Amino acid sequence: MFLCNRAELNEGIAVNNQWFSKVAVWIVIALVLFTVFKQFDRGASQGNQLGYSEFLDEVQAHRIKSVVLQEGGSGTDILAETSDGKKLRITATYLDRGLIGDLRANGVKFDVKPREEPSFLVNMLVSWGPMLLLIGVWVYFMRQMQGGGKGGAFSFGKSKARMLDEANNSTTFADVAGCDEAKEEVKELVDFLKDPQKFQKLGGRIPRGVLLVGPPGTGKTLLAKAIAGEAKVPFFSISGSDFVEMFVGVGAARVRDMFEQAKKSAPCIIFVDEIDAVGRHRGAGLGGGNDEREQTLNQMLVEMDGFETNLGVIVMAATNRPDILDPALLRPGRFDRQVYVTLPDVRGREQILNVHMRKVPVGQDIRADILARGTPGFSGADLANLVNEAALFAARRSGRVVEMADFEKAKDKIMMGPERKSMIMPEEERKNTAYHEAGHALVARLMPKTDPVHKVTVIPRGRALGVTMQLPETDRYSLDKERMLSTISVLFGGRIAEEVFMNQMTTGASNDFERATSIARDMVMRYGMTDELGPMVYSENEGEVFLGRSVTKTTSMSEETMRKVDSVIRRIIDEQYGIARRLIEENQDKMHSMAKALLEYETIDSDQIDDIMSGKPPRPPKDWTTPSGGKSDGTPPAVSADGAPAAA
């Protein structure tokens, strides 16, 4: 005995109908083509064409064996057979009665028959065949353009939402980590979907719409799937861009169809990902209120405010731009609850790493808490990518498990960019890069309230010739004035080291200057951290992004105020530049030692930097390979298959 639910049965019927419609279209096209070609080929298959005078010559020469005369409305067809068995065909406008005498005189057998006219069906196919063929081809291509809707070639208004039932959705809250507050916010949705009477008997009303807000990669879609998986209800998933098509009114029709499907499967969840694609402020388009996107938004507003709450349909949406959504979407009765899914803290990152590390074999030395502290600002997607990159590094060295060293390499690749060891740098430029990065590291160690230096390298990574990476000891949610001033000094350390030790200036410090100037400007114009201008805001961050940068709108200021702002910014930059230069000039021995270590080892970490700052010779890195090929701890070098030293 076979059992299936209604969704599986409907899906099977839809697949069969779609397969049948495809086959039917091709059968019709093939039938029309066959009939047309058969009609044109019918005359040619009955014999070779011959002129009437030539046919009479053949009769008189006694080379014709038999003749069949076919009379019709458009003339007479003469089908002849020669003595050697060849077939001949002669077309005459009318039947020559003297031909009968010639045939009898020359002993040719003949017969007279009416012409075989094609049937009515064949005539219809020949007449309408080309038109039917064009219509069939047009329907087929239109269907392909619309993605082959479920309801046939003209199903433009059908919803593209993908449904996951409880059998296909195994995601639960156990698969979601790092957002405990968000899970607590949505747990009552699970209780409502499981037992709606618990809330309705007290007069309570569950929110009709829940908006998940947070940066990209924080797990908004995963959280929505987990709610459906916990409640064991169908989950309709669609993107905001799936509503709008090239035809006017298609988006609104798809919204109506999506809600109709959801009502039939209630209780369920409708999840609209990237709702800002259709939910932007209305009235901004060139077409006013007749814009297709705005029509789609209007229909969504009507549907959300139109169905009854006891139907058990909850609409969830995700966006990382809640500021651009139309206010009508956020009013009570629609998306009246906002759940913030923020970047995870150190404890959340540890939980996320434990979830993703279940899928890969890890070694005994893996410490998720250490990895969590070393990945500040990482989202859930970034941590998943970290685990995947570590597994790839382990596979490259043919390891059986993923070790801590693989995670360190993966973290360096994600945070600093991939290594470009094949890049050949001139020795002078390599030396300049070593002093540049040493300048950043030295100032970072000596300035107060700076993040600890984790690693310094002169190996080109990404678009940088060298990288100085600092990692905060704890998660930080705000910055104070002293920390921002120290950051400006650290940014100037690279250029100052070039001037002091290499007697030159290069373009490598351009990004450092840009960041330092931006921090100083924000201190003056946005944060009110100066005594000269006081606690007043002189710029407004619009939050808009143009060419990858946040657009800042400057408020109206007098010319005198603008000059004062520029002078205060310049004073901050000059003061921090002087502090950084003094630190570097007073510690030239440490700068020489750090640059020498970078040129020799290419990469040094906090242990080597501690040795240098305490006046000791820096210890070799743990995985450093000596020029002879052996490891720094005395072990022989690893050898590849061709006998050359293997890459680390």
Separation CA 489–CA 626 (nearest Å): 35
Catalytic residue among 437, 499, 540, 586: 437
SS3 annotation, 13-61? HHHHHHHHHHHHHHHHHHHHHHHHHHHHHHCHHHCEECCHHHHHHHHHC
Residue type, 647: A
Longest dimension (CA), the chain: 133
How far apart (Å, rounded) are the C-alpha atoms in residues 450 and 580? Answer: 13
- Separation of alpha carbons 473 and 486, rounded Å: 16
To 10 degrees, what angle do helices 220-231 and 180-194 make? 30
110, 59 contact by CB (below 8 A) = no
Say how far apart CA 156 and CA 153 lie, in whole Å.
Answer: 8
d(CA 562, CA 384): 47
Q: Is 544 a catalytic residue?
A: no
DSSP E strands, 369-437: none
Of 96, 55, 60, 56, nearest in space to 75 by CA: 96
**Spatial separation of the C-alpha atoms in residues 238 and 275, rounded to whole Å:** 9
Radius of gyration from C-alpha coordinates of the chain: 40
Token pair of 13 as six digits: 């019927």
Give how far Cα 535 sits from Cα of 58, 277, 524, Å.
Answer: 117, 38, 9
User: Taking each helix axis from N to C terminus, what angle separates 559-586 and 481-502, rounded to the nearest 10 degrees?
Assistant: 60
Q: What separation in angstroms does the CA of 600 have from each of 334, 405, 427, 603, 615? A: 63, 21, 12, 9, 18
Q: Which residues are catalytic?
A: 437
